[in-house]
Amino acid sequence: MDIRRPPSKAMRSGKAGEPFKSYQNYSNNMKQQQQNLKASSDAVLLLRVPLYITNGIFFTLFFSAAYFLLHRWREKIRTSAPLHILSLSDIAAIVSLIASFIYLLGFFGIGFLLSIIPRASHDHEDAWDVHNNDHLIAKEDSRPPGPCAAAIDYSLVPPVLPCTNGSSNAAAPLPLSQDDEEIIKSVVSGSTPSYSLEAKLGDCRRAAAIRREALQRSSGRSLEGLPLEGFDYDSILGQCCEMPVGYVQIPVGVAGPLFLDGKEYTVPMATTEGCLVASTNRGCKAIYASGGATTVLLRDGMTRAPVVRFSSASRAAELKFFLEDPLNFESLSLVFNRSSRFGKLQYIKCAIAGKNLYMRFSCSTGDAMGMNMVSKGVQNVLDFLQDDFPDMDVIGISGNFCSDKKPAAVNWIEGRGKSVVCEAIIKEEVVRKVLKTNVAALVELNMLKNLTGSAVAGVLGGFNAHASNIVSAIYIATGQDPAQNVESSHCITMMEAVNDGKDLHISVTMPSIEVGTVGGGTQLASQSACLNLLDVKGANRDSPGSNSRLLATIVAGSVLAGELSLMSALAAGQLVKSHLKYNRSSKDMSKISP
């Protein structure tokens, strides 16, 4: 049996990074509090009866005993009998009163006592109390997996122990040897370059530990809080990160099941934004209850656009016509495709600025996100073109017409990576019961916010409520390049009342989802585990490219869920109120059918 008392504020105020001493005080308080709770839990456990019955029994006992004793004392005073002479029933009543008082104090008084125990920090509480994110909806979703505060029993969560070296207690760093000490000194003095440590030592973890210590000494700044142990530094060498000194921890939550194209997915999201996962989770619930969402992959091709310069615009135009001539495509693709069995040239689109030519190569890349693959193919073609265009001056293999990690109309219009559209029909009842709003309010909010409002703001690909929230969280969890969130979050969210205005048709169209399931950060242990959860880990041997395409559809489906939930929270919270305020409708919009 569990005592379902809410955690006190004192119990919630644990904050990693406090000085060790205050941690000890905090830890002792926590232990004491947990023991108190456990004691009362155990007492109740012994009785093996429902909590409300034991509470009822002790309440009745307390008041009955108190009433009996008062009655007896009044009787004694009236008859002038001595008060200190007790009968057997008096003794039984006193014992019952004390016992029930101890029980009631233990059960109901602890919360009060804990709330007056001095707290380690006020900051944490502020964060706890102030929930002003506009996608704050967790309380509306009664499902247990919600990650918001209300769903978490903090009495069961041990605080992180801050160590002197900054890693968690579960991963205390190994001590540095005398040899290490010498190397640290030489790094601090500059005689050993920090970047050369991995190559020199042949031990990536040791190199990171030495670099970290040298950095702390030379900068005079502590890296406490940034863990060192518990990470495979070999796995990032030459691929993911140079000169590591530790790693940042980001919590991973799950939203789902997301019912997409007839299958269920549990979507991992790495984020520190409270309630984002809960919000997406609620959207998933609405989609599920309405029969699921479907996706269509419209195109799949990664792009790279080098810039070359000629002595005249006409010469630049000559190359443009050559590249765009269908008769030359076969020879160009033969050259391009040499670099990888997965990279297949799809088309070349050119743009001219004076005598400069920008050639946007697009190719399929299998399960890789494909930046390296397309770059290698482009390099092959540039080398090949030098024979016929020896006056071509290659300025850069990337001329920004690609366009990578920058908001650009070319990606919004032409697409980059995977272009996906995802749609669902959300039933009127689900909109009302799960999303706590109505179809008319959602359609109107979408028109005024995501379409008109975004047009007023002059956005590029930003006709949505918060696609980037979901994209970034999934990208970080699954080892994608988070910087590609810029164009991957391009999304237009459409909403329309269908089925005689009863139900809601919602869609998200995302032209530039850049994802892969091989290469880059996808091969790291944590990220690879998240890909595995979605059953898209690594290369798909039977059908290369299927894993990354599936991942792109899951991203779009999750964005659909996120859009649904946030838009509903906004519609329920603001739009309905404003309707009433401005008297456009005298009725409560949330209670009428659209």
- Counting contacts by CB under 6 A, is residue 488 touching ligand ADP? no
CA distance 319 to 359: 10
Closest separation between CB of residue 400 and ligand ADP, Å? 18
Closest separation between CB of residue 284 and ligand ADP, Å? 28
Applying CB under 6 A, among 204, 371, 420, 492 the residue interacting with ligand ADP is 371
Beta-carbon contacts of residue 143 (< 8 Å; ≥ 6 apart): 281, 285
Nearer to ligand ADP, 141 or 367 (CB): 367
Candidates 26-34, 108-116, 514-522, 572-580; binding stretch for ligand ADP (CB under 6 A): 514-522
Applying CB under 6 A, among 516, 521, 562, 594 the residue interacting with ligand ADP is 516
Applying CB under 6 A, among 342, 358, 401, 412 the residue interacting with ligand ADP is 342
- Counting contacts by CB under 6 A, is residue 503 touching ligand ADP? no
Nearer to ligand ADP, 337 or 372 (CB): 372
Nearer to ligand ADP, 274 or 516 (CB): 516
Nearer to ligand ADP, 363 or 495 (CB): 363
CA distance 560 to 495: 11
Quick check: 301 and 346 in contact, CB under 8 A?
A: yes
- Counting contacts by CB under 6 A, is residue 364 touching ligand ADP? no
Quick check: 361 and 336 in contact, CB under 8 A?
A: yes
Nearer to ligand ADP, 54 or 403 (CB): 403
Nearest Cα to Cα of residue 366 among 515, 557, 529, 554: 515
Nearer to ligand ADP, 524 or 539 (CB): 539
- The residues pairing with 505 across neighbouring beta strands, listed in sequence order, are 425, 496
Q: At what angle do helices 204-219 and 178-189 cross, to 10 degrees?
A: 50
CA distance 184 to 76: 86
Helices (H), 306-370: 313-324, 326-336
- Residues in 178-217 at the binding interface with ligand ADP, rule: CB under 6 A: none
CA distance 230 to 436: 43
Nearest Cα to Cα of residue 499 among 551, 547, 431, 556: 431
CA distance 156 to 160: 13
Closest separation between CB of residue 247 and ligand ADP, Å? 21
Applying CB under 6 A, among 159, 519, 521, 557 the residue interacting with ligand ADP is 519
The tokens for 545 are 């490219």
Candidates 74-82, 173-181, 202-210, 363-371; binding stretch for ligand ADP (CB under 6 A): 363-371
Closest separation between CB of residue 411 and ligand ADP, Å? 17
- Counting contacts by CB under 6 A, is residue 301 touching ligand ADP? no
Nearer to ligand ADP, 240 or 451 (CB): 240
Strands 344-353, 462-463: pairing is unpaired
Candidates 100-108, 371-379, 400-408, 575-583; binding stretch for ligand ADP (CB under 6 A): 371-379
CA distance 419 to 416: 7
Residue nearest ligand ADP by beta-carbon distance:
366
Closest separation between CB of residue 540 and ligand ADP, Å? 6
Applying CB under 6 A, among 252, 258, 373, 567 the residue interacting with ligand ADP is 373
**Extended beta strands in 134-251, E state:** none
Nearer to ligand ADP, 15 or 304 (CB): 304
What would you measure as the largest C-alpha separation in the chain, in angstroms? 126
Closest separation between CB of residue 339 and ligand ADP, Å? 9
Applying CB under 6 A, among 165, 279, 280, 340 the residue interacting with ligand ADP is 340
Nearer to ligand ADP, 163 or 371 (CB): 371
Closest separation between CB of residue 475 and ligand ADP, Å? 13
CA distance 543 to 536: 12
For the chain, how many residues are written? 594
- The residues pairing with 506 across neighbouring beta strands, listed in sequence order, are 424, 495
16 in helix, strand or coil?
A: coil
Q: Is 94 exposed, middle or buried (0-12, 13-18, 19+ CB in 10 A)?
A: middle
Q: Which residues are catalytic?
A: 273, 405, 481, 579
The tokens for 259 are 């019912």
Candidates 214-222, 445-453, 456-464, 512-520; binding stretch for ligand ADP (CB under 6 A): 512-520
Q: What 3 state SS string does 387-401 have?
A: HHCCCCEEEECCCCC
Nearer to ligand ADP, 369 or 476 (CB): 369
Nearer to ligand ADP, 274 or 519 (CB): 519
- The residues pairing with 351 across neighbouring beta strands, listed in sequence order, are 358
Applying CB under 6 A, among 141, 198, 367, 404 the residue interacting with ligand ADP is 367
Beta-carbon contacts of residue 523 (< 8 Å; ≥ 6 apart): 235, 239, 479
- Counting contacts by CB under 6 A, is residue 225 touching ligand ADP? no
Applying CB under 6 A, among 370, 399, 479, 562 the residue interacting with ligand ADP is 370
What is the distance between the terminal CA atoms of the chain, rounded to a whole angstrom?
46
Helix (H) or strand (E) holding 67: helix 51-79
Closest separation between CB of residue 134 and ligand ADP, Å? 35
510 in helix, strand or coil?
A: strand
CA distance 125 to 109: 21
- Counting contacts by CB under 6 A, is residue 366 touching ligand ADP? yes
The tokens for 473 are 């969280």
Write the binding mask 521 to 560 for ligand ADP: x where contact by CB under 6 A, - elsewhere: ------------------xx---x----------------
- Counting contacts by CB under 6 A, is residue 288 touching ligand ADP? no
Closest separation between CB of residue 547 and ligand ADP, Å? 7
Applying CB under 6 A, among 204, 269, 277, 369 the residue interacting with ligand ADP is 369
User: What are the residues binding ligand ADP (CB under 6 A)?
Assistant: 340, 342, 365-373, 516, 518-520, 539-540, 544
